[in-house]
Amino acid sequence: MSKIERSALCVHGHFSQPPRGNPMDRTIGVEPDAAPYTNWNERINQTCYLPNAQIGNFKGISYSFSEGLMQWLEANATETYSAVVQADHAAPNYPSSGNALATAYNHVILPLARKRDKMTQIVWGIAVFKRHFGRAPLGFWLPEMAVDLEALKMLAESGIQYTILTEKQVHGLPMNGGSGPFRVELPGGKSIGVFVRHDALSTELSFNVHNLGGAGHWCHQKLGPARKTAGPLVLLATAGETFGHHYAGEEQFLHWLITHEAAQSGYKVVTLDEYFLSNPPQHSITIEERSSWGDQPGLTQWFAGTVEHGRDTTWKGALRRALDNATSDVDRVYEELVRQYNVDAWELRNAFLPALFEGQSVDEFIAERLPKMTKKEQTTLKALLQAQRLTQRMYNSYTFTDNQMDGRQPRYAIACAAQALALAQEATNVDLNDRLPLDLAVMTTPDVSLTGADLLRDAVQAYQIGAFS
């Protein structure tokens, strides 16, 4: 095995921010704890995204951005947004490949989503990636690195060639380890590539970068010696906000790592796309079903909650049931309207946002696909498609990562549910507002005196959601 093959290093940063604020106009508003900035997106852009952009870090790493963050950067931080896009465009083989990976459109934990919602998240995620970067993605970041075979099969069928997992999520790694890429065989005869991050080194970066003594010292002490046992490629994967937000000033650590110290330790810095195209998967591995980067088996922390270390988060189960019931009510009236025209409601939904990204108006989209609809039905369908967007948005992973029942993310999800039901009710005259308050009334925790029903009332008042007034 050549020295170059044993010396490849890739750093992948996943950048994301939770959705907050008004579910209809998507404005965040003022967040006092982000002072002296208006909100946390502004603050983190100034401490993390912009500094990384200005010193060129995006040109030397692989990265993925949640769509909510990319949309905010595009509208509010154009210098950062342009740097992220241009770093991908500057890749040697663009547009065949680049630095960026796609991700699920609403940052949904895919193994916990229904099959049709998984497909929507993948189709919309790929479509918006094409809008931002002008090319089809080769790789796809799984939110929370949560995986199951069904999601991998859908990714492969959608043209995605690889994703990233942790060491504990896979079985059958070769004796010399390494980060791959490896091959996972899928039902139906397809396969997909998987890069496996170096967990120990990635964890050091994620949680201890401030104490590593700088990039040079860390490379000499840890990264350099890892060449002897880590295989042809070492992949470091972490939250992008590590470099500048979680740890102030550490965008400099990343900069020196990828521009100088890695090479001094015998590494060639590569991107995942670049390495994948030069090193197609050979060795087959299997995955741990319904696993993530986290410690809880079966994704428990994101669908049922736990009672652990004195903290009770079992309210998450009640919240998810309430959201599921709200989604079912919106889906029912949407499907009933579309079914009479012999159109698959979920294929129609999948096509909706990609059509808008390509320049179609909502009216043009409906007229093209459902030309026999009456004007009144077209107006109803417009409202129901907006309600579908809201129900997808409320399952963002941050809804269930937030361990405070009355935190910003659970409040946002409840506001999305209420607004979706209100839109659907107003459009169809079907009473849909009775179940959500009852479902949320059982969302409780010893840590907070409020119930989920109280959070619903707060959202209704804050955003004037008429159906629940």
Does residue 298 belong to any structural domain of this protein?
A: no
Note whether 336 and 278 are same-domain residues. Answer: no
Note whether 242 and 351 are same-domain residues. Answer: no
**252, 287, 322 — which closes off a domain?**
287
Amino acid identity for residue 296 in this structure: Q
Note whether 337 and 275 are same-domain residues. Answer: no
Please state whether the predicted TM-score (pTM) of the whole model is above 0.85: yes
Note whether 27 and 127 are same-domain residues. Answer: yes
Q: What letter does residue 229 receive in the DSSP assignment?
A: T
Report residue 282 as tokens.
Answer: 């050979």
Note whether 454 and 414 are same-domain residues. Answer: yes
Q: Longest C-alpha distance within the chain, in Å?
A: 70
Nearest C-alpha neighbor of 116 from the set 325, 331, 428: 331
Long-range pairs, 367-370, Cβ under 8 A, ≥24:
369/343, 370/338, 370/341, 370/343
Note whether 254 and 329 are same-domain residues. Answer: no
Note whether 276 and 319 are same-domain residues. Answer: no
Range of the domain at 379: 304-468
- Strand partners for 269: 9
Residue carrying structure tokens 């079903």: 289
Judging by DSSP bridges, how do beta strands 268-269 and 286-287 pair with one another? unpaired
The total domain count for the chain is: 2
Note whether 308 and 282 are same-domain residues. Answer: no
Does residue 421 belong to any structural domain of this protein?
A: yes
- Cα separation, 30 vs 243, in Å, equals 25
The tens place of each residue's pLDDT in the chain, 469 residues long, gives: 344 455 899 999 999 999 999 998 889 999 999 999 999 999 999 999 999 999 999 999 999 999 999 999 999 999 999 999 999 999 999 999 999 999 999 999 999 999 999 999 999 999 999 999 999 999 999 999 999 999 999 999 999 999 999 999 999 999 877 899 999 999 999 999 999 999 999 999 999 999 999 999 999 999 999 998 888 999 999 999 999 999 999 999 999 999 999 999 999 999 999 999 999 999 999 999 999 998 777 899 888 888 887 789 999 999 999 999 999 999 999 999 999 999 999 999 999 999 999 999 999 999 999 999 999 999 999 999 999 999 999 999 999 998 999 999 999 999 999 999 999 999 999 998 889 999 999 999 998 999 999 999 999 999 998 766 5
Q: Is 14 exposed, middle or buried (0-12, 13-18, 19+ CB in 10 A)?
A: buried
Question: For the stretch 171-182, what's the b/e string if a residue is b when 16 or more beta carbons lie within 10 angstroms of its beta carbon?
Answer: eebeeebbbbbb
Does residue 292 belong to any structural domain of this protein?
A: no
CB 422 within 8 A of CB 468: yes
In degrees, to the nearest 5, what angle opens at C-alpha 286 toward C-alphas 199 and 105? 70
Note whether 234 and 373 are same-domain residues. Answer: no
Residue carrying structure tokens 């099959």: 115
